Structure 1
């Protein structure tokens, strides 16, 4: 064993220890690796930085954007609503639909993102049907992991292994190469979790000391908004038409606070949150909050040219994906007590309207602009969710309290959902047909998402999980360094000595076990980067096809069922499900062994040795 190989193995060991400790962060460790390899002379600078131009890295970044487009357009939430409607009060039916839905979504977007979306949905449904969240949240995380076995683009390890095959001049995997195995594992996973859920919690949810978050309807009722909400159409002869709101003084003169405007454009209705500069047009429908429910306004409506319209439900519930509510408290050091609501200038400073005031736990009957605030008052503000979220830590004069439950279901581009599905379909068809490389198909999908305004540039940049990309870029040089220093040959020689005489299937089982165990300590992406070259070299030493060996590594990298820290998907459900470490061990280890058995039996049949 050469000194260079010892250095690379030592660097790899140090990296793994830092990954386990998570100090510093994984992306920082990756950057340290990028520095260490060229400075030690093991690799050239060009070889070390080659990961930044690797097609798989670009493809993964593009898929983050595609997945975010599905979230912004509300497709994920609509699937959740459909699942609730179909499941009814049956826990078994809910578990099946949940795992199918999450696995399907996770096959084309980030599994961690899908699981994060569905956690509040599952908690809400569990509370409604009287089931313990623990019986549903682990199936949720398992479905997220199984989704990585369904398509080529479902998880970064699949693309890393595919890229390694191509780099070695071999045929890579097609879009649906993983699908037959993944579907079988998904079916086994559903059956397994229908049994294993009985070991995870009582049938009835235990009482929790934590109160669930209020909904928009509950907030509106608590502040007595429902008594004061009105919808008013602007008549063609209205004197409000073609004037901005800040010129009309509706709040001070008539006690009418305009919250938002429904405006008909072509064949759809758009909601515009009211600001001082909002220009009122004939035919607009004003969503207003009256200063008092008892105020006599019929004469004012005629004078202003407004026509009252029926309101079947709170307009905050109707427009919950765009229009939000939040409570704002006045902390002890606030300078706001003594000021009137008019003097706060919430609309001009924060693009938000103050619509409610609670004092000593009781909501005031109306909201008068000359009402002076007192210490410990709580305000209710209304506006767009993005403006509400910006209040976090914005001022020492007020404190944004917990947001209502609907904030988890905000879809700022909900009207673009059909276009998002079209973009996804185009990307998948291009990948399946092979007309263009996968990375170009994903970039075309991103550009179409942008062209149809399913996403914007700011949200696209935020959607990319840069630490994950840096981790891949930092780990890719390790594979080359191990190859140059003889580390890959050493690993292959060890595998052949231990399992070579037992046959190829024994080697496949050994590769699966080593990959799955390594994935307990470092990320599955880093594991795939390290194990893919070993798998391909092992196949070449046996003069066998590399495809089944590479497929085994990809499948094992996704089989991170055994501990709550072996995958971010498991970690997400750990606290909401009130799981212990041993819960994942006793449920995950048997299922991992089952997946290994299925993979070792099925992979050589689908990809002949």
Structure 2
């Protein structure tokens, strides 16, 4: 073992350690790797930065855009509506359809995004059927993970392995190369969850109480908004006229939080979502949230030149097409506990108003701007649906847990849904037919989405999960560094010496186990980057086809079923399902072993050894 290999292994061990403790962020660690490798002299700048021009990186970015187009046109949410309609009152039918729908949608878009879409749908159906959400959340997560085994573009590790095959001078995988094995695993997963769902019912839990409210009306009731809503007209002599909201400090001085403004125009009424820069005009009707329903404001109304107007029903229901509510939780890695709502700057940063706060299940009353947040708090935010969707991208500090059912009706480009499906179909056809490279097919799909106005440029750039791309780009040089310094050869010789006489099936099982175990501690994308060259070189050392070995790595990288922290998909359902760490171990470890046996048996049938 030469000193250069020792240096590469030291850097790799350091990177993995930082990944495990998550300090700093994984994309920052990847950038540190990009800087460190050239400084050590192991790789030059061109080889270190080659990942930025890797077709797989561009392809993954394009697929993020395609997935966002499916969300913006309402296709993803309509699938949820179909699920609710078809499930009826049967829990078994619901579980089967939920897993099949999540896997199907996840085969062409981010599994994390799919699970985030289906969580409120599943919670709503669970409430209606009076079943524990825990019986649905883990099956949903497992289906999201299995979706990565269905197509080439379903998850980043598949594309990483494909790229490694191409780099080795081979043809790579086709669009449906993984599908036969993935479908078998999906059927296995559905049957397994039907048999083990009784393990997932929390003992002594109140099933209905754990289900978040899923309509605008229910959210307003849960946070006591109905008692605090008012409509106030700005009189012609009002001192508020022609002044910006951030200059008036109505919330701080009077406990009046302006949510939106109804402004009359010649033929229609415009609804303006309130921001700090909103200028009030005489005749405007303010939709406000009071600090307390019992607050005495008659004198304040007179002083401010405001005239109370009748409010026949909640203004959230009246303006559901443009004014939304969402329940927001603080994930474990959030840095916001200890800060006040005023310090969050929701209105200025996210164009949303914090209108409610629940602590230990109880809605807090009074002026909330100076309230310090705690880790268990739930916030209720109000604003444009577009701003609420954008908040979903702030995954490190916010987790948008409950999107009301009305969001299905306000997809920003819902009328473009047929064009989004056409764009998706064109992309899949081009990939399957091989007329153009996969990356070109994805870019054509993105351009079609843009040409049909299913998505705009700003939304497209926001849809790309840049930390994932940086992570891939930063980890790719490790594969070349290990190859150049003899690390890959050393690993291959060790595997061959250990299992060379045991046969190819034992070698495949070993690669699956090693990949799955590494995936417990670092991202599955980084795991695929490290294990793909080892698998291909092992096959070449044994004189066998590299395709089954590479496919085993791709499948194992998606088999992150064993712990709640082994995949973001599992972490998403941890809270809504009220799971403990041991629940994933109890259900996930046996299923991972079953997936391994199925994969080791079927993969050589699809790609002969």
Q: Give the alignment of 1:445-524 within 5 angstroms.
A: 445-524=445-524
Provide the rounded CA distance (Å) in 2 between the counterparts of 1:390 and 1:601. Answer: 43
Deviation, 1:75, is 1.0
Measured at CA, do residues 261 and 12 of structure 1 come closer, stay the same or move farther in structure 2, by a change above 3 Å?
A: farther
Task: Confirm or deny: 8 A CA contact 1:563 1:584 kept in the other structure.
Answer: yes
Gaps of 5+ in 2: 232-241, 243-259, 280-284, 288-312, 328-339, 343-349, 354-365, 370-379, 393-399
Contact 1:131 1:205 in 2 (8 A): no
Aligned to 1:23, what secondary structure does the other structure show?
coil
Indicate the residue corresponding to 1:234 in structure 2: none
Write out aligned runs for 1:195-594 (5 A).
195-201=195-201, 206=206, 212-213=212-213, 215-218=215-218, 259=262, 273=271, 317=317, 320-324=320-324, 384-386=384-386, 405-406=404-405, 409=408, 411-594=411-594
1:358-377 CA-partner distances (Å, limit 9, x unpaired): xxxxxxxxxxxxxxxx9799
Partner of 1:22: 22
Pairwise CA RMSD of aligned residues? 4.2
State how far apart, in whole Å, the 1-side matches of 2:368 and 2:105 are. 45
**1:320–1:406: 8 Å Cα contact kept in structure 2?**
no
Any idea what SS the aligned residue of 1:502 has? coil
* Cα shift at 1:315: 9.0
The structural deviation recorded for 1:389 is: 8.7
Residue in structure 2 matched with residue 98 of structure 1 by the alignment: 98
Q: Report deviation, 1:118.
A: 1.2
Give 1:103 deviation, angstroms. Answer: 0.2
Q: Is the CA contact (8 Å cut-off) linking 1:273 and 1:383 kept in structure 2?
A: no
- Classify the secondary structure of the residue corresponding to 1:520: coil
Matched, 1:74 2:74: yes
Greater CA deviation, 559-568 or 201-210?
201-210
- Per the alignment, residue 124 of structure 1 pairs with 124
Indicate conservation of the 8 Å contact 1:111/1:148, yes or no: yes
Aligned pair count reads 511
Structure 1 counterpart SS, 2:170: coil
- Aligned residue number for residue 148 of structure 1: 148
Deviation at 1:403, TM superposition (A): 8.6
Secondary structure of the residue that 2:49 maps to in structure 1?
A: helix
Q: Measure the CA separation in 2 of the matches of 1:553 and 1:375.
A: 54
Q: How far apart are 1:451 and its partner, in Å?
A: 1.3
CA contact (8 A) 2:131 2:208 kept: no
> Contact (CA 8 Å) 1:71, 1:77: kept in 2 or not?
yes
Give the match's secondary structure for 1:501: coil
Kindly state the Cα deviation for residue 224 of structure 1 after the two structures are TM-superposed: 7.2
- Aligned partner of 2:372 in structure 1 is none
- Residue 448 of structure 1: how far off its partner (Å): 1.1
- After superposition, the Cα gap between the structure-2 partners of 1:205 and 1:408, relative to the gap in structure 1 and judged at 3 Å, is farther
The 3 A distance-change label for structure 1 pair 447 and 34 is same
**CA positional deviation for 1:323:** 3.7
Contact residue 117 and residue 408 of structure 1 kept, 8 A: no
Q: Is the 8 A contact 1:258 1:288 kept in 2?
A: yes
Distance 1:453 1:536 in 2: 42
Structure with greater Cα Rg: 1
Q: CA deviation at 1:314?
A: 8.5
- TM-score, length basis structure 1: 0.75
Q: 1:376 to 1:384 in 2, by over 3 A?
A: closer
Q: CA deviation at 1:385?
A: 2.9
CA, structure 1 residues 450+217, in 2 after alignment: closer, same or farther (shift >3 Å)?
Answer: same
Q: Which runs of no fewer than 5 residues in structure 1 stay unpaired?
A: 230-245, 247-256, 265-269, 278-286, 290-312, 328-332, 336-349, 354-373, 393-400
Q: Paired residue for 1:233?
A: none
> Which residue in 1 is equivalent to 2:256?
none
